[in-house]
């Protein structure tokens, strides 16, 4: 029983796990947001076939379990191409692509929320396509997309817990290890749950703050 | 091929794989089919289990969701608070953590249930948090005139709620509840981590038996995607059918 109790070391272990979870979350979110936005811009420029291809891939990613995607990348791709993939690499690749698929949809609808007349007016004023994108579409689309994007990121943080299944020692895996050692499931999973909850709340708060700043121009200021 | 041959000398496993790789290019898709064919029964069993879990969990989620939605729409501050906290907690903690909490925690309380029951319970509770939002907005979308008319007719609050408000709210919620169901189907794959061999769990077994994880998981991914796609079309039709009269208003 001596080694089965909780010790101060376990706090370090939990924080380590939280660090891994947050690192993966932040990096994959960043890559996912950039990639998703790029894919949406490709759609705007109407490249041949690219649009159909992107739609197909994003629909596949959105409509299948992330766990299966993780298995495909972690077990499937190494077997097919005979390459070594570490759990961390597989997790990074899968989560980034998965986030990109959802970001793509959000950005596309954000771009579509902008009146066609604005784009046409910009073109008539002699702005190039890039200038229209940069100065007319982007500022409004970003303000429009912040809300859904925050909801997505809160969700993606929770999705990172799945990477524990392929062996990444993230917060959930640390919880699993502590659970097996101490045999106190209530305490362990409550603590893990609280940590995830707090992280999710911080993301939601930050997203709300950014959204308020970006939409301040149209906020109700009273009479 | 030359690189493949040198690897083949080192390990037996790679030799088998190289050979498979070669025949694969020859036989193509046929081989995937013939290789997976003996395992179709197992996969079908898994799919059936997924359907069972999801149907039960959907029923559970609607019941929990309706109860929570009622609490959130009620006049009591305490009930509203409890409902809000419930939704907040179960939407902001990963499902995997919730699942482990129940799977390892329930036996501590002396409740010994199998993985199937635990899975359905956890999915119902988590799904209920999402369903409550849907049902609540269904309730809020109801024309106040309808409720007033029911009051004028002298119907009790209970009857008004159960016979007037809920049927309309649920009818209006068919499509969004469908998205909850699709989410449940995707989430149910996580139940494979607590030894429940539903579709993903049985695919894991097949992948380890055939040594062909890529094909198995690619097929699985396609299966999930096409299943949820077809389901979303069916739900949209069902929603339109049920709401023929009110569709313009919504």
Residue among B138, B79, B77, B126 at smallest CA distance from B100: B126
Could you tell me the pLDDT band of residue A45, with boundaries at 50, 70 and 90? confident
Range among A3-17, A60-74, B168-182, B231-245 rated most confident: A60-74
The whole-number pLDDT of residue B2 equals 45
Q: What is the pLDDT of residues B113-152, one digit of tens each?
A: 889 999 999 999 999 999 999 999 988 888 889 989 998 9
**Rounded to a whole number, what is the distance in Å from the CA of B146 to chain A's nearest CA?**
32
Output the six-digit token pair for A130. Answer: 């890039």
**Interchain contact, B105 vs A197, CB within 8 Å:** no
Among the listed ranges A46-50, A199-203, B162-166, which one has the minimum average pLDDT value?
A: A46-50
**Interchain contact, A65 vs B14, CB within 8 Å:** no
Residues of chain B found within 8 Å of residue A168, distances taken between Cβ atoms = none
Write the CB contacts of B42 (distance below 8 Å, at least 6 apart in sequence). Answer: B202, B205, B206
Q: How much of chain B exceeds pLDDT 90, in percent?
A: 47
Q: How much of chain A exceeds pLDDT 70, in percent?
A: 98
Residues of chain A found within 8 Å of residue B17, distances taken between Cβ atoms = 79, 82
ipTM, 2 dp: 0.88
Residues of chain A found within 8 Å of residue B229, distances taken between Cβ atoms = 59, 63
Provide the mean pLDDT of chain B.
84
Q: Alpha-carbon torsion A202, A208, A214, A216, what sign?
A: negative
Q: Where are the domains of chain A?
A: 8-217
Among the listed ranges A190-194, B6-10, B141-145, B195-199, which one has the minimum average pLDDT value?
A: B6-10
Q: With contact defined as beta carbons under 8 Å apart, do B199 and B191 qualify?
A: no
Does residue B19 register a pLDDT over 80? no
The whole-number pLDDT of residue B4 equals 45
Q: Give the per-residue SS3 of chain B.
A: CHHHHHHHHHCHHHHHHHHHHHHHHHHCHHHHHHHHHHHHHHHHHHHHHHHHHHHHHHHHHHHHHHHHHHHHHCCCHHHHHHHHHHHHHHHHCCHHHHHHHHHHHHHHCCCCCCHHHHHHHHHHHHHHHHHHHHHHHHHHCCCHHHHHHHHHCCCCHHHHHHHHHHHHHHHHCHHHHHHHHHHHHHHHHHHHHHCCCCHHHHHHHHHHHHCCHHHHHHHHHHHHHHHHHHHHHHHHHHHHHHCCCCCCCC
The whole-number pLDDT of residue A103 equals 95
Residues of chain B found within 8 Å of residue A197, distances taken between Cβ atoms = 89, 92-93
The whole-number pLDDT of residue A47 equals 77
Residue of A79, A157, A160 lying closest to B213 (CB–CB) = A79
Residues of chain A found within 8 Å of residue B183, distances taken between Cβ atoms = none
Could you tell me the pLDDT band of residue B29, with boundaries at 50, 70 and 90? low
**Interchain contact, A82 vs B187, CB within 8 Å:** no
- Distances from the Cα of B163 to the Cαs of A22, A28, B60, B67, B243, in angstroms? 48, 48, 20, 15, 17
- Distances from the Cα of A172 to the Cαs of A15, A16, B45, B124, B190, in angstroms? 11, 11, 29, 21, 13
Residues of chain B found within 8 Å of residue A201, distances taken between Cβ atoms = 92
What are φ and ψ of residue B6, in 5° steps?
-65, -35
The whole-number pLDDT of residue B52 equals 93
**Interchain contact, B89 vs A75, CB within 8 Å:** no
Does residue A98 register a pLDDT over 60? yes
Does residue B169 register a pLDDT over 70? yes
Q: What phi-psi label fits residue A183: left (phi over 0), alpha (psi between -120 and 50 degrees) or beta?
A: left
Q: What is the pLDDT of residues B98-112, one digit of tens each?
A: 999 999 988 888 888
**Rounded to a whole number, what is the distance in Å from the CA of A197 to chain B's nearest CA?**
5
Residues of chain A found within 8 Å of residue B213, distances taken between Cβ atoms = 71-72, 75-76, 79
Query: CA angle at residue B132 from B110 to A152, to 5 degrees?
Result: 100
**Interchain contact, A68 vs B14, CB within 8 Å:** no
Q: Between A and B, how many CB-CB pairs are < 8 A?
A: 125
Q: What is the pLDDT of residues B223-241, one digit of tens each?
A: 999 999 999 999 999 988 8
The whole-number pLDDT of residue B149 equals 92
Q: Give the residue-averaged pLDDT of B170-181.
A: 89
| Domain A8-217 = CATH 1.10.3720.10 | yes
**Separation CA A42–CA A193 (nearest Å):** 39
Q: Give the residue-averaged pLDDT of B12-16.
A: 54
Could you tell me the pLDDT band of residue B88, with boundaries at 50, 70 and 90? very high
**Interchain contact, B214 vs A69, CB within 8 Å:** no
Does residue A75 register a pLDDT over 90? yes
Q: Give the residue-averaged pLDDT of B186-198.
A: 91
Q: Give the residue-averaged pLDDT of B17-23.
A: 55
**Separation CA A69–CA A165 (nearest Å):** 12
**Separation CA A139–CA A111 (nearest Å):** 10
**Interchain contact, A69 vs B203, CB within 8 Å:** no
**Rounded to a whole number, what is the distance in Å from the CA of A136 to chain B's nearest CA?**
32
The whole-number pLDDT of residue B20 equals 56
The whole-number pLDDT of residue B250 equals 44
- Distances from the Cα of A165 to the Cαs of A125, A158, B43, in angstroms? 55, 13, 21
**Interchain contact, B213 vs A68, CB within 8 Å:** no
Does residue B7 register a pLDDT over 50? no
Architecture, CATH, for domain B40-242: Orthogonal Bundle (1.10)
For chain A, how many helices (H) and strands (E)?
10, 0
Closest CA in chain B for residue A62: B225
Closest CA in chain B for residue A171: B97
Q: What is the DSSP letter of A72?
A: I
């Amino acid at each position: 029983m001596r080694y089965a109790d909780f010790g101060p070391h376990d706090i370090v272990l939990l924080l380590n796990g939280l660090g891994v979870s947050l690192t993966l979350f932040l990096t994959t979110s960043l890559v996912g947001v950039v990639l998703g936005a790029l894919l949406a811009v490709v759609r705007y420029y109407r490249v041949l076939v690219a649009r159909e291809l992107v739609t197909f891939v994003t629909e596949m990613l959105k409509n299948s379990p992330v766990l299966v995607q993780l298995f495909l990348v972690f077990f499937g791709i190494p077997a097919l191409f005979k390459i070594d993939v570490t759990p961390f690499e597989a997790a990074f690749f899968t989560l980034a692509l998965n986030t990109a698929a959802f970001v793509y949809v959000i950005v596309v609808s954000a771009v579509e929320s902008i009146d066609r007349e604005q784009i046409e007016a910009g073109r008539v004023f002699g702005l190039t396509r890039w200038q229209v994108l940069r100065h007319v579409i982007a500022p409004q689309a970003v303000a429009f997309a912040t809300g859904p994007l925050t909801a997505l990121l809160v969700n993606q943080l929770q999705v990172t817990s799945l990477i524990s299944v392929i062996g990444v020692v993230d917060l959930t895996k640390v919880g699993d290890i502590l659970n097996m050692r101490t045999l106190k499931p209530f305490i362990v999973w409550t603590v893990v749950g609280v940590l995830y909850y707090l992280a999710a709340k911080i993301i939601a708060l930050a997203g709300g703050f950014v959204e308020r700043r970006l939409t301040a121009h149209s906020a109700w200021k009273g009479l | 091929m030359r690189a493949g041959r040198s690897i083949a000398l080192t390990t037996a496993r790679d030799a088998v794989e190289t050979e498979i790789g070669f025949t694969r290019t020859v036989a193509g898709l046929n081989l995937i089919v013939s290789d997976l064919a003996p395992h179709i029964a197992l996969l079908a069993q898994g799919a059936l289990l997924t359907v069972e879990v999801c149907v039960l969990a959907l029923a559970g989620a609607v019941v929990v969701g309706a109860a929570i939605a009622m609490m959130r729409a009620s006049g009591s501050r305490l009930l509203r608070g409890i409902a809000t906290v419930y939704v907040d907690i179960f939407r902001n903690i990963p499902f995997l953590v919730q699942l482990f909490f129940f799977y390892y925690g329930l036996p501590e309380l002396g409740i010994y249930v199998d993985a199937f029951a635990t899975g359905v319970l956890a999915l119902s509770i988590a799904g209920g948090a999402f369903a409550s939002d849907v049902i609540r907005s269904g309730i809020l979308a109801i024309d106040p005139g309808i409720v007033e008319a029911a009051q004028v007719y002298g119907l009790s609050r209970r009857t008004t709620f159960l016979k007037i408000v809920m049927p309309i709210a649920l009818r209006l919620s068919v499509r969004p509840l469908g998205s909850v169901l699709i989410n449940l189907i995707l989430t149910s794959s996580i139940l494979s981590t607590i030894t429940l061999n539903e579709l993903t769990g049985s695919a894991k077994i097949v992948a380890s038996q055939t040594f062909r994880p890529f094909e198995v998981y690619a097929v699985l991914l396609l299966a999930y995607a096409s299943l949820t796609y077809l389901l979303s079309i069916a739900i949209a039709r069902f929603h339109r059918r049920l709401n023929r009269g009110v569709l313009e208003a919504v």
